[in-house]
Structures are given as C-alpha cells and as structure tokens.
C-alpha cells in the first residue's frame, strides 16, 4: 500500500527509499512494542496510585513493627487523615 506525505497541503507519494525506511521503522517499533507488551498490560491493570498508597498505609496501620520502621511515611499520612476525617 502506497504511503503519502502532506507537503504544503498536497498529498505526495513516498519515494521507494522512503517506503523502505518507513518499513524498517515500523518493524523496529513492532519489536520494541512486543518486548514491552507486559509493561503496558501491567500499567492498565494496576490500581491507581492513590489506591496503592491507601493499601500501603492500611498495611502499616495494622502492623506495629511497620509503624516503627516506616514512621515518617506513616505519620505524614496519618496527620493528613486525622486533619481531614472521612464523613460518617
């Protein structure tokens, strides 16, 4: 299938050299995409960052040892939660 450029609003067909170069670019992109497909699938599946942080905070909140080890994170989030409580 022939490809075209738009040059000053005029549809101009690719030269044979441009077709070959574009085919190489598309093949390289396909390889990169295939190699990183897992990454895109993960990104679409992960919970939001807010949900992940909330899960982390609750895990720390339920474990006294983690509260001590991660006190900076825990206390910063707890201060925000305490000053902005959920409505009943």
Q: How many helices (H) and strands (E) does the chain have?
A: 5, 2
Evaluate whether 67 touches 60 at the Cβ level (below 8 Å).
yes
pLDDT of residue 2: 84
pLDDT value at position 40?
86
Per residue in 29-71, pLDDT tens?
999 988 889 898 998 999 999 999 999 999 999 999 999 999 9
Q: What was the pLDDT predicted at 81?
A: 92
Dig out the tokens for 62 from the structure: 């339920």
Number of domains observed in the structure of the chain: 2
- Let me know if residue 35 belongs to a domain: yes
Averaged confidence pLDDT in the chain? 93
Q: Quick one: 40 and 51 in the same domain?
A: no
Domain that holds residue 53: 47-82
Task: Give the largest CA-CA distance in the chain.
Answer: 69
pLDDT band at 74 (very low <50, low <70, confident <90, very high): very high
Same domain for 40 and 65: no
């Amino acid at each position: 299938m022939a490809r075209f450029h738009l040059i000053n609003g005029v549809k101009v067909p690719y030269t044979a050299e441009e077709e070959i170069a574009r085919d190489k670019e598309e093949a390289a992109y396909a390889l990169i995409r295939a190699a990183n497909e897992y990454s895109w699938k993960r990104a679409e599946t992960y919970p939001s960052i807010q949900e992940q942080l909330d899960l982390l905070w609750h895990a720390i909140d339920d474990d006294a040892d983690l509260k001590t080890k991660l006190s900076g994170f825990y206390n910063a989030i707890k201060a925000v939660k305490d000053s902005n409580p959920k409505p009943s």
